[in-house]
Amino acid sequence: MIFNHRRNDFPSLSHKYNGHQLIYLDNAATTQKPYAVIKAMNDFYVTSNAPIHRGIYRLAEEATYSYEMVRQQTANFINAVSPSEIVFTHGVTHGINIVAASWAYHMLHEGDEILITQLEHHSNILPWQDLAKKKGILLKWIPLRKDGTLDVTTLPQLLTNRTKLVAFTMHSNVLGDINSLVSHSDYQFLTKSYHSSQQDFISLLIEQSHKKGARVLLDAAQAAPHEKIDVQQLTCDFLVFSAHKMLGPTGCGILYIKQELHPHIKPASLGGGMVYNVTQQEYSSRNMPSLLEAGTPHTAGVIGLGAALTYLTEKINFIELQEQETALCNLFLMQAQSIPNIQILGPNAFNKKHLISFSIKTIHSHDVAAYLDNYNICVRAGNHCAQPLHQALEITNSVRISLYIYNTDRELKKLIKLLSKLI
Ligand code: PLP
C-alpha cells in the first residue's frame, strides 16, 4: 500500500513546502478536496450562478433544481425517508444549535433533563448548557473514566422518565468510535439491566432512550465520512454531519430531522425563504425543510457537497476504506510501542479506526505539531474542542493524527521516524 492511487484526485496533496511533500493527518478537523468537488463549485459559479427558490427565469430554476437534487442525494446517502428531512446548515455546530433553538427550546420545560456524554465536542455541549440555564433544565453527563472508557454503568440512574433528549457523538473526535469505549463487562451489565439484545452501545442507548420517551440526536461528524449511515436503521430523531469533513466544502452541513417531529419544529432564524405570507402584524411559515433555511443559502457549497457524495458513493467502498484506515492505525500503534514516553489515549490501544490521539510526557503537543510542520506534516494539537474529555483523562492537551482515503503507510512511517527523532 505504498502508493494510494486516489491521491491523484487531490491537487493539494502534491504541494511541497521546504522540499517536503504534504502529509496531511488532520482529516478529523477538515479533509482535502478532490478535483471533482472544486470543479463542481467552480462550474456552478461559471455557468449556473443564480438565486434559488426565488427566480422565475431559466438560470434560477436550474440552480434551484441542482440544489434540490443534492437534497434528494443526501437523503439517499443516509437513507432518509424523504428529502424534507434534510436541512442544509453551515455544519455540525450550526445544526445542533438549530435543534436547540427550533425544537428543544419549545418542547423542553423546567425540570426536564438532557443527557450527553463526557466525550462530546464543545458544539454538542454548549447549546445544551445554555438551554439548561435558560429553561431550568438539568444537563446530565455519562462520565468518562481516566482510562478513556465510558462509565455506562451509570446509565440506569441517568436516563429517567424526565430525560427528553439524549445527544451523543457516534465517534469521539479524540478517542474514536464510542462503541469501542465501552468495556465488555460494562456492556454485559447494561444488556442484563435492560434485558436488551442490542449488539452495540449506540443501538442500545437509542433503544433505551426511546423507551423512556426521549428523543435522540446523533453527532455523526466523525462517523459519516467513514461508514455507511442509515438513519432508518439507527432510528435516531436528529443527526448532524459536516460536508467539509468528507471531501466537501466548508460552510455546508446537514441536519436530518425525522419526519414525525416536523409539526413540532419552529423556525430558528426569521427572514426570506422560510416565510409564506407576511403582513405588517405577522407572518406564516413554510413547511420543512424551507422553514429552517432562512436567507440565501450557501448554494455553491451544497453543489460541492453533492459532488463529494457522488465521489464517496462511486469511488469509495466504506468497508475497504475502514480496512485501510484500521491497517494504517495498527501500523502506527505497532511502531509507536518502541518510542519511549508516548501515551496513546483511550482503552484498547489496538482498536483504533481512523484517528489516534496521544501525549508525550516530556513535550507539549504544540511543540510536537510545530516540529512536524517543518517537514510539512499536519497534525492537530491542543484540546480538540473537547476540554471536558481531556479533564476526565487528567491531561490538558494531546496530539491527534486522523486519516482519510488518501493516506499511506509511507506517510505514517515517516511520521514515526520523526517522532522517534524528536523524543
Ligand atoms: N462534533 C464533532 C465530533 C467534531 O469532531 C466536530 C469538528 O471537529 C464538530 C462536532 C463540529 O463540526 P463543525 O466545526 O463542522 O461545525
**What pLDDT is recorded for position 394?**
95
Residue to mutate (ligand 1; options 27, 88, 93, 383; most atoms within 8 A of CB): 93
Quick check: 234 pLDDT over 90? yes
Q: Evaluate: CB of 92 within 6 angstroms of ligand 1.
A: yes
Kindly report the protein residue whose alpha carbon is nearest to atom 7 of ligand 1: 29
**What pLDDT is recorded for position 3?**
53
Quick check: 348 pLDDT over 80? no
The mean pLDDT of 342-365, rounded to a whole number, is: 90
Quick check: 18 pLDDT over 90? no
Instruction: For residues 175 and 421, give the distance between their C-alpha atoms in angstroms, rounded to a whole number.
Output: 25
pLDDT tens-digit profile of 322-333? 999 999 999 999
pLDDT tens-digit profile of 77-128? 999 999 999 999 999 999 999 999 999 999 999 999 999 999 999 999 999 9
The CA 241 to ligand 1 mean position distance, Å, reads: 8
Quick check: 1 pLDDT over 70? no
Q: With a threshold of 0.95, does the pTM exceed it?
A: yes
The mean pLDDT of 375-380, rounded to a whole number, is: 97
pLDDT tens-digit profile of 116-159? 999 999 999 999 999 999 999 999 999 999 999 999 999 999 99
Q: Evaluate: CB of 149 within 6 angstroms of ligand 1.
A: no
Kindly report the protein residue whose alpha carbon is nearest to atom 5 of ligand 1: 173
The CA 240 to ligand 1 mean position distance, Å, reads: 9
Q: Evaluate: CB of 384 within 6 angstroms of ligand 1.
A: no
The CA 176 to ligand 1 mean position distance, Å, reads: 13
Could you confirm whether 329 is annotated as catalytic?
no
- Where residue 181 falls among pLDDT bands split at 50, 70, 90? very high
Quick check: 53 pLDDT over 70? yes
The CA 91 to ligand 1 mean position distance, Å, reads: 8
Q: Evaluate: CB of 242 within 6 angstroms of ligand 1.
A: yes
The CA 194 to ligand 1 mean position distance, Å, reads: 31
pLDDT tens-digit profile of 253-298? 999 999 999 999 999 999 999 999 999 999 999 999 999 999 999 9
**Closest ligand 1 atom, CA of 90?**
16
**What pLDDT is recorded for position 2?**
44
Q: Evaluate: CB of 123 within 6 angstroms of ligand 1.
A: yes
